Amino acid sequence: MILNEAQILERLVDSDPQRRIVITPLLKPEEQFGPTSVDLRLGTDFQVMRRTNLTHFDLMKDPEALERDMKQHMQCVKVKPTEPFVLHPGEFALASTLEYVKVPLDLSARLEGRSTWGRLGLQIHATAGFVDPGFRGALTFELSNVSNIPLPLYPGVRISQICFFQGVQTNLPYHKKRYSKYSGKSSTASSAFFRDPEYSRIRAAKEQLSYQ
């Protein structure tokens, strides 16, 4: 069941912290509430991939070396509220919501783009629109411009919307999941693929084969 605007509002002011939805700052509720969703705003932090001298990521490096490579090749851009971040056609950038979001354990959520921006060619996520029960932090956007004109993106603009779905309370909230990597972030979080356990198993298998 998807929550409507009255149910979302009820959860936002619920006195029980286990049931309460947190969306803060909620600057203009009259602008942000829809029938079954709440609009979220673009934050001020962006990350773009430096392509100079970057051929590929060697996924067989150890996680610490891969993390250093990621930091070296990601350019962090901080934008003032009155200045745009210009996303050119075919470009990809990471950004985050202005709001901090906390999802109760009996709800899950989906982050979707607003049709106003979709009609201009802005996609706000590649595959990661699902938000697990227990998630807390700023949500990361995977921004792509699929149009043929540059898009100036200003912090504070409502580019997305979040909706909530009722479920059975989980015993494994996102922040307690063994391999969760993005909970509690207050700004844009780049990929931490190198912390997935599959790569350590592949490295171990390759080392074993090299000794045979």
Is 142 catalytic? The answer is yes
- The model's pLDDT over 122-180, given as tens digits with 9 standing for 90+, comes to 999 877 689 999 999 999 999 999 999 999 999 999 999 999 999 998 877 666 566 56
54 neighbors 83 (Cβ within 8 angstroms): no
Q: For residues 8 and 166, what is the distance between their CA atoms, to the nearest angstrom?
A: 11
Residue 38 has pLDDT above 80, yes or no: yes
Distances (CA, A) of 173 to 79, 108, 195, 206: 33, 10, 19, 34
CA distance 151 to 122: 8
Domains, the chain, ordered by start: 5-210 (2.70.40.10)
Q: How far is CA 25 from the centre of its chain?
A: 17
pLDDT tens column, 90-120: 999 999 999 999 999 999 999 999 999 999 9
Task: Name the active-site residue from 30, 83, 142, 207.
Answer: 142
From the centroid of its chain, how far is CA 11? 22
pTM, rounded to two decimals: 0.81
* Exposed/middle/buried for residue 146 (C-beta within 10 Å: 0-12, 13-18, 19+): exposed
Determine if residue 61 is left, alpha or beta; phi over 0 gives left, psi from -120 to 50 gives alpha, anything else beta: beta
Q: Cα(135)–Cα(212) distance, rounded to whole angstroms?
A: 44
Question: What is the average pLDDT score of the chain?
Answer: 86
Which of the four pLDDT bands, split at 50, 70 and 90, describes residue 6? Answer: very high
Task: Spell out where 3-73 has E strands.
Answer: 22-24, 38-41, 45-49
